[in-house]
Every structure is written in C-alpha cells, then in structure tokens.
Amino acid sequence: MRLALPEFRESNRCQMSDTPAGPNLNELQQRLGYVFRDVELLKLALTHPSIAHEVSGPAPHNQRLEFLGDSVLSLVLTAELYEKFNNVSEGPLTKARAQMVNRRTLADQAQRWGLGDYLILSRGEESSGGRQRRSALADTFEALLGAVFLDGGFASARQFILRLFRDSFGELTSIPSLDNPKGELQEALQVKSSEAPRYEQTYATGPDHDRVFECAVFHGGVELGRGTGKSKKAAESQAAVTALQKLAKREEDKKL
C-alpha cells in the first residue's frame, strides 16, 4: 500500500524554495536509477543541517528524512532476511541485519553513488571537509531512502533498497559475512536438533611455513560443507560458511 502524505510534501516544496540553490539533480537520479516525482524530496534529503546557519527563518534539512529512512531500511532488510532464511534463528539474523545497516556500510553506499558531490552544505561545513565526512554521508543515505519512501511508497523503497544491497552483498542467498560462522551454524542446526556439528580435517598440503588445510563439517552423519584456509580454524570457519549457504539454498528451493 502506498503512503500518501500530500500536506507534508507541499510544505516541503514551499519551504525549500528559501534555501540556497542546489546542484542539478538529473545526473544523480540517473546514477541511482530512480526518478523522483517530487524532486524537492531529493533536495531535502541532500540538505545538511548546517544549512540552518546560513538562511533566515526556518531551514528544513534532512534529519527527519534520516529518521524515517533508518526505519524503512531496517524493515525492508529484516523482512528480506526473515523470508529467505527461515532455517536461521533470531541471533544470526539480527547480526546479519546489523552488519548490513551499520554506519560504515551506509557511508560506503553513499560514497559509491557519489552523494557527497550533491550535498547542500553551509560554507563552514564545506570548508571543513563535510562532503567527505562519513557520518554525514551515512545520514544522507538514510535520508535518501526516506525520500524514496515518501515519493514512491513502500514498494518503490523496497525495490530500491534491495537493488542497492544486492549489488553489495550479492543476491542475498546467504547470510552476509558472518563474524562467527561456526557459532551461527550451530545455532541454526539446534533449531531442529540438539546435536552439535562435527568438524574433521580432510587434508593438509604445502610446506610448514605455508600450509593449506581443508576441513569438512558433518551433522547427523551427513557432510554439510567443506572449506580451506591457512589454518585448521580458518578452514573450519569456511566449511561452516559453505554449510550455511547450502542450508539457505535448500530452504529457498523448497519454496519453488
């Protein structure tokens, strides 16, 4: 269902006319692959709070959109993780979502799409390197998501977010970059069985100073995955990652 907020959008249009002229946003919209029906929402998303120091009267900026975008992003990714990984428990899902929406990731997204080039800043913020400040970039990315939500509704925001994050994390067919894959695998398996996974070294090769190990992980007498690494611990971790990916793929195939 699309959320229509006509009074909010009309109010933004009137107020933003009092702020300094921003850059031409057509190029940015082409980069993003999304064309705003109300480009003033995009302009608002790019307006840094420092602008309030250089205009007379109320100066709208992107903090409210940042607040909204944070919630939209969390909801979209939470729902996607929940649907795709129904064999994974709350703990791993929470950790995966936290990694996907942390400030570093959001700033990376903003840099990737060149949002800093289009920020509307005060002169003081500009001179102090505000366009490259990662905290400002992360805030702006969240504000952009809030603007897309208001402009096109939840369906448009969801499509936009998943496209950007699939480019970064793949097709979301596996839990992204787990910090503790062995722990996550055990937690996932314990949903259906109290038996712990068992790791076994299958071979090691190379000279003592440059060994490569391969390990396999088993559960219920069935091999779930294999992995290699420069240490036995690293190989076991990679085997756990492979096993998690296979479990996720198996659950996905069940839906087809």
CA distance 136 to 119: 9
**Residue 200 designated active-site:** no
What value, to the nearest 5°, has the Cα angle with vertex 42 and ends 166 and 110?
40
CA distance 146 to 158: 11
Q: Decide the pairing of beta strands 198-205 and 222-229.
A: unpaired
Q: Whose structure tokens read 């800043």?
A: 121
Nearest C-alpha neighbor of 224 from the set 241, 203, 206: 241
Could you say which of 66, 80, 139, 142 is catalytic? Answer: 142
CA distance 44 to 63: 9
Report residue 126: phi and psi, to 5°.
-60, -45
Q: Express the helix, strand and coil content of the chain in percent, nearest 5 each.
A: 60, 10, 30
CA distance 177 to 99: 8
Largest CA distance in the chain: 72
**Residue 70 designated active-site:** yes
Could you say which of 70, 80, 151, 214 is catalytic? Answer: 70
CA distance 134 to 245: 32
| Tokens read off for 246 | 């296979």
Residues designated as active site: 70, 142
